[in-house]
Amino acid sequence: MDAADEAKTRGNRFFQEGQYQQAIDAFTEAISIDPSNAVYYSNRSGAYLKVNKAAQAVTDARKVVELRPEWPKGYSRLGTSLFYQKKYADAKAAYEKGLAKDTNDANLKDGLKNATAALSGVGAPQTLRQLCWDTTHAKFRTYQFALRALMIVSFVLYWTAGWGSPSLAAFSFANFFKLAAINYVSFLAYNHGTPKLNQAYAQRLIMDPATQSLLFALLFWFSTPYGLALFPVVANELVHFASFAGSLLLAVNSSLGSTLETHVFDRVMPFVVWAAVYHRVPSLVATLEVAIGLSLILELLTPNRNFMLLLVYWQLLRIRYMISPQLKNAFADLDRVVTTAAFHPRSPPIVGTAYSKLKDMLAKMVAVPEPGQQQAAPSSMPKCCIM
């Protein structure tokens, strides 16, 4: 593998892990080595869209079309980038050119459908009935919105009235996580259907982030109130709540025929802003979860220590670490900070040594065996011969 392909592979890995700026840097490195490769521009165009840089995405997509005019993917990239800029006519033209190269490309077909709908006004704000009731999906979103509203009320009660009343604080805390658990169970049931006793269903369930969120909610539902634990959940749910609330206001605006959308939403709530928020929330939640783990460790030095909560919570983090890129990044950030402090010239050598051993131990705990590794291990041991 040459240097350009190595940079592209690195960029793909960053992209899959949600580290889009690092992906852009890696694809840029690949382009600097081989500026004639359309794939590098295509990948960077997709990464630019993830960080809401539609203009740069369009530039790269046009370069893809220039370098490989017969490649449908370039037109798909161009159409998507133009659509983000709300240049629906240009996006439609790009999709049509791509379909002339490949009439069966699903992405181009979907893009053309969306661009055509946007041009014809089909993408206008929904009515309240359409948004909240007309379909099963609409009803479920409304149900989730109601649960999230109650969660926010419980959160506010805990941090306001709960300060003067321990019983109210305990009730608000438990109620918050009870509602969260109901929300996650409902989502899993809606998303995955009736439970099935087979490996494929179990694997989908385990890999769903909602399952990990459910375990988090159950853990703190039955624990003593721990205020910091509220923040990862409320950060994750608040952005969904606000997004649906914005859709509700747009629906009301559409029903009343007012100009609220023009004067407020085009400035305050554009789609790209919400896209950026959705992108950043998982990383924020992961950072908060690591902070909770550290605070539980520090509490061992106080009379409020809770060994059982500490052990169960870190076991949950261990499981999540193996499947969550955001949590891996959060721990990597923590590792950089601790390493800098532990190996500081003024730090005693024993601190650095102890941290290195602790880090190695934790790495072994979360290591995933390579395929065939467990089977190969016994054969690598010396065999015992009985004479």
Whether 88 and 148 share a structural domain: no
Q: Which residue has the tokens 């559409």?
A: 254
Name the pLDDT band for 360 (thresholds 50, 70, 90).
confident
pLDDT for 181-220, tens place per residue? 999 999 999 888 888 888 888 888 888 888 989 999 999 9
Q: Establish if 322 belongs to a structural domain.
A: yes
Question: Would you state the pLDDT for residue 233?
Answer: 96
Whether 226 and 208 share a structural domain: yes
Q: Which two tokens stand for residue 284?
A: 């924020």
What is the Cα–Cα distance from 90 to 92, expressed in whole angstroms?
5
Name the pLDDT band for 260 (thresholds 50, 70, 90).
low
Whether 270 and 209 share a structural domain: yes
Q: Establish if 213 belongs to a structural domain.
A: yes
Whether 55 and 137 share a structural domain: no
Contacts 24+ apart (CB under 8 A), 335-340: 335/359
SS3 label, residue 346: coil
- In angstroms, the first-to-last Cα distance of the chain is 51
Is the model's pLDDT at 95 over the cut of 50? Answer: yes
Whether 135 and 210 share a structural domain: yes
Whether 169 and 25 share a structural domain: no
Q: Establish if 366 belongs to a structural domain.
A: no
Question: Would you state the pLDDT for residue 173?
Answer: 96
Mean of pLDDT values over 78-100:
93
Q: Establish if 354 belongs to a structural domain.
A: no
Q: Establish if 356 belongs to a structural domain.
A: no
What is the Cα–Cα distance from 44 to 30, expressed in whole angstroms?
10
CB 216 within 8 A of CB 232: yes
Q: Which of 30-34, 146-150, 222-226, 380-384 has the lowest mean pLDDT?
A: 380-384
Q: Establish if 229 belongs to a structural domain.
A: yes
C-alpha distances (whole Å) from 53 to each of 13, 24, 243, 336 are: 20, 11, 21, 29
Domain final position from 99, 121, 143: 121
Q: Establish if 59 belongs to a structural domain.
A: yes
CATH code of 34's domain: 1.25.40.10
Name the pTM for this structure.
0.66
Whether 182 and 61 share a structural domain: no
pLDDT for 18-64, tens place per residue? 788 999 999 999 999 999 999 999 999 999 998 889 999 999 999 99
pLDDT for 270-316, tens place per residue? 444 555 566 678 889 999 999 999 999 999 989 888 899 999 999 99
Q: Domains in the chain: how many in total?
A: 2
**Average predicted confidence (pLDDT) for the chain:** 85
Better-scored residue on pLDDT, 4 or 374: 4
What is the Cα–Cα distance from 158 to 151, expressed in whole angstroms?
11
Domain with 172, as residue range(s), is 131-345
Name the pLDDT band for 380 (thresholds 50, 70, 90).
very low
Whether 283 and 211 share a structural domain: yes
Whether 83 and 184 share a structural domain: no
The sign one gets for the Cα dihedral 99, 12, 50, 239 is: positive
Query: Diameter of the chain by CA atoms?
Result: 94
Q: Establish if 369 belongs to a structural domain.
A: no
Whether 140 and 104 share a structural domain: no
Cα 199 to chain centroid distance, Å, stands at: 25
Percent of the chain scoring above 70 in pLDDT: 86
Residue type, 343: F
Mean of pLDDT values over 162-191:
92
Whether 231 and 184 share a structural domain: yes
What is the Cα–Cα distance from 352 to 359, expressed in whole angstroms?
10
Contacts of 11 (CB under 8 A, 6+ apart): 22, 23, 24, 25, 26, 27, 29, 30, 43, 44, 47
Whether 135 and 117 share a structural domain: no
